[in-house]
Amino acid sequence: MAREHRLKIGVSGIRGVVGEFLTPTLACEFAQAFGTFTGRGRVVLGRDTRASGPMLERAVTCGLLSAGCDPVLVGVLPTPTIQMYVAAAGARGGIALTASHNPPEYNALKLFNERGEFFNRYERGGLIDLYHQGEFALASNAETGRVTGEFSAPARLHFERVLRSIDRDRVRARRFRVALDAVNGAGSVLTPRFLTEDLGCRLDAISIDPTQPFPREAEPTPEALGELSALTKRTGADIGFAQDPDGDRLAVALPDGSILDNDEVLALVVDAALARLPGDVVVNLTTSSVIDEVAAWHGRKVHRSPVGEANVVEKMLATRAVIGGEGSNGGVIFPAVHYCRDSYTGMAFLLDRMAETGLGIAELAAKLPKFTRRSAKSKFAHGGLGGGTLALERRFPEASRDRSDGLKLTWPDAWIHVRASNTEPVLRVSVEAKSAARAEELLAAGVDILNS
């Protein structure tokens, strides 16, 4: 049986299973390439709470020093916090050691340019070429940089930006009761502080010990959030929030304990943003058409990009969009805070919308148009995607097609999107339709063709 290769260099950096694929040596060499690419100067380095984090932090620090950079260690922080601090500190770039929603055996180097944004396709291509060539800058003894630390300014910067974007006093006056599952991740300490001290919420929280392992699957899917559901219902909370280990993804629980679809989380934030600010919306190809209908309420346009935060941000910059994100993972991108997915912006916007309208989160969600969404995944077979997508096109010749990221086929009432994952060795099939039967039909067709 062929060995499954669990190392991926993609849109957000380099990611893999620690030990077998992602080693300290590899991390050090990639940091050398990164430092060579960015040039000498300060590089911000933070991480999430994975057990491999301290080991990789040391390896990456060595690689940066050897390339003549000055690592600025910021410790355990959410990825959006790290991104904002890179730009604010005038650093040459930044690295977050986190595999985000992947299982705990994974870790990754998420790479940011001097603007605190993921590398665009040109930057990414140049860095990867440099890494493969192995021609790294080598600092002499006299040129070796120094390591410094900054452990309070990044979080203050992040939260001040979010709070400027909402009516903080209006939220605090409501004294919302909030349930939280922080998965013992990077937001374990900061998120309770943000909700209670900054937003005046009454908080019931679980999994807020950063010294402990993840108690559930890292990705905050409805299937993984049983404890949050029970907590939200038991405490009579107005809303429940769940984060992934690096704090860029957001899931939401309703007061009855049910988990709101991630596309609907994004749609509610988009609705709130468009009610205040002029501009269009950018989402990825797999995000629900509910966004198109919400944008139409405000007379705005929706632009779509390939999947991946870097791709969405690139399209947002090109279109000057006022809000964007990735509905499939609850990732909200609000440029007034920063060009990055940020669960804290999502939490603040939803609480502010509830305070502004006087409606509960379930009432706000009930106003959204309804679609049926389904998804599946299968192990990646190299060379299999091309043949599968051609077979899908032959099966549905009447559909309009988009090949910018795998294949998306669209009808007036439905769509199917087939693509290779950016973070795992799997193929993903996503479908949406106005009827459940149509969604099931399309999902079955996609899975059958890809597995044939």
Beta bridge mates, 415: 410, 432
Q: How far apart are CA 262 and CA 259, in angstroms?
A: 9
Structure tokens at 178: 């909030």
What are the φ/ψ torsions at residue 314 (nearest 5 degrees)? Answer: -60, -45
Task: Check: CB of residue 112 under 8 Å from CB of residue 118.
Answer: yes
Structure tokens at 435: 């009827």
Q: Which of 12, 52, 66, 100 is catalytic?
A: 100
Q: How far apart are CA 175 and CA 350, in angstroms?
A: 14
| Number of C-beta neighbours around residue 363 at 10 A | 12
Checking 151-158 for CB contacts under 8 A at 24+ apart, the result is: 151/74, 151/75, 153/85, 154/46, 154/74, 154/77, 154/81, 154/82, 154/84, 154/85, 155/77, 155/81, 155/190, 157/81, 157/84, 157/85, 157/88, 158/78, 158/80, 158/81, 158/84, 158/85, 158/337, 158/344
Active site residue 421: no
Task: Check: CB of residue 50 under 8 Å from CB of residue 244.
Answer: no
Indicate the helix (H) or strand (E) that contains 129.
helix 121-133
Structure tokens at 412: 């007036």
Q: How far apart are CA 351 and CA 170, in angstroms?
A: 9
Q: How far apart are CA 83 and CA 333, in angstroms?
A: 12
- Residues 6 or more apart whose CB falls under 8 angstroms from that of 354 comprise 174, 176, 238, 239, 360, 361, 364
Q: Give the catalytic positions in this structure.
A: 100
